[in-house]
């Protein structure tokens, strides 16, 4: 909106052409193959290009992934927050109560953002794997699905998506690993996997 000295505001032609979503759906990107978060980020990029507002919360990620740098340039259309880490997985430990509380707080934050009307798309990155590792429950996520306004697109990513969420989703894409250079000792590369 353009504000004038007299305090009146006027919608620009571009703003008038961006109505937001009339109908949102639930999308899931799951499976053991690479590309779940990448698909969600691609959707966010496309949505931002169309003038839509996107909120992304990354569960189990507090590493400075390269997408954080790229999304800074789109901060007026895409908001991204990180919550929690996955170090307990690599230590072969159960998540602590503090880690569980942090994941629940992140899910509540996403639900509040979704209900705010300020975003067209909400992405719960790694929500499915957070369920698998018992940071949050399937019922916690189903409650978010139940609360989703009709005009908000909700995207969930992560391996091990529970059947109940797959059944509720409108779109499910499964990334299947056919071949991965990790098997040949190639670790995560900056700008490609991290």
Dump pLDDT digits (tens) for 79-111.
Answer: 999 998 888 888 889 999 999 999 999 999 999
Residue 100 domain-assigned (yes or no): yes
What gap in Å lies between CA 192 and CA 50, rounded to an integer? 25
Query: What is the DSSP-derived secondary structure letter of residue 43?
Result: H
Within a domain: 29: yes
Return the beta strands (E) in 117-181 as ranges. Answer: 121-125, 153-157, 171-174
Residue 17 domain flag: no
Domain CATH code at residue 129: 3.40.50.300
Kindly state whether residue 142 falls inside one of the protein's structural domains: yes
The residue that leads in pLDDT, 15 or 46, is 46
Residue 2 lies in a domain: no
Tally of domains in the chain: 1
In a domain, 192, yes or no: no
Q: What is the mean pLDDT of the chain?
A: 89
Residue 190 maps to a domain: no
User: Is position 186 within any domain?
Assistant: no
Q: Determine whether 129 is exposed, middle or buried from the number of CB atoms within 10 Å of its CB (0-12, 13-18, 19+).
A: buried
Provide the pLDDT for residue 19.
Answer: 64
The candidate with the shortest Cα–Cα distance to 30, out of 157, 154, 169, is 157
Has residue 2 got a pLDDT over 70? no
* Nearest to 84, CA basis, from 44, 37, 135: 135
Domain that holds residue 112: 24-176
The answer to whether 153 touches 191, Cβ cutoff 8 Å, is: no
Residue 14 predicted with pLDDT over 50: no
């Amino acid at each position: 909106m353009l504000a004038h000295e007299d305090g009146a505001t006027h919608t620009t032609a571009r703003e008038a052409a961006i109505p937001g979503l009339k109908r949102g759906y639930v999308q899931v990107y799951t499976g053991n193959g690479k590309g779940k978060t990448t698909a969600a980020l691609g959707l966010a990029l496309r949505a931002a290009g169309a003038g839509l507002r996107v909120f992304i919360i990354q569960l189990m990620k507090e590493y400075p992934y390269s997408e954080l740098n790229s999304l800074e340039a789109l901060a007026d259309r895409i908001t991204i927050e990180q919550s929690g880490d996955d170090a307990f997985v690599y230590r072969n430990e159960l998540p602590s109560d503090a880690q569980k509380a942090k994941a629940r707080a992140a899910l509540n934050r996403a639900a509040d953002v979704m209900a705010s009307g300020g975003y067209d798309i909400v992405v719960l990155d790694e929500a499915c794997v957070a369920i698998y590792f018992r940071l949050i429950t399937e019922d916690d996520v189903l409650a978010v699905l139940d609360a989703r306004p009709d005009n908000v697109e909700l995207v969930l990513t992560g391996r091990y998506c529970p059947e109940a969420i797959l059944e509720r989703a409108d779109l499910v894409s499964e990334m299947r690993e056919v071949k991965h250079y990790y098997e040949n000792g190639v670790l995560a590369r900056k700008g490609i996997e991290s």
